[in-house]
Amino acid sequence: MKRNEKEEKILANIKEKVEPVIEKIRPMLQADGGDIELVDVEDDGTVKVRLVGACSGCAMSQYTLKLGVERLLMKEVAEVKCVEAV
């Protein structure tokens, strides 16, 4: 389904709120040889990220994603409903 201009602006606004939070998280992941990339924000409040470097193959990556990344994003950006790795 194609988004209209208003929906695009809303999603762009959410991305602007999410990006600084990702920047807060990044140094913690980089300290362990990993990193995170913001891929997209969906209409339903789902934030899609890519864990890279050491994080991409780490057995603990799902814990990092849910207990770290998702928790902080949901706390700081009200529009975020969940976070998924892609």
Token reading at 10: 């809303």
Q: CA–CA separation, 69 vs 55, rounded Å?
A: 12
Phi first, then psi, for residue 14 (nearest 5°) are -65, -45
Q: What is the 3-state secondary structure (H, E, C) of 25-37?
A: HHHHHHCCCEEEE
What is the pLDDT, as a whole number, of residue 44? 93
- What are the structural domains, with CATH classification, of the chain? 5-85 (3.30.300.130)
What is the pLDDT, as a whole number, of residue 57? 83
Mean pLDDT in order along the chain per 10 residues (86 residues): 82 95 95 94 94 90 92 97 95
What is the pLDDT, as a whole number, of residue 1? 57
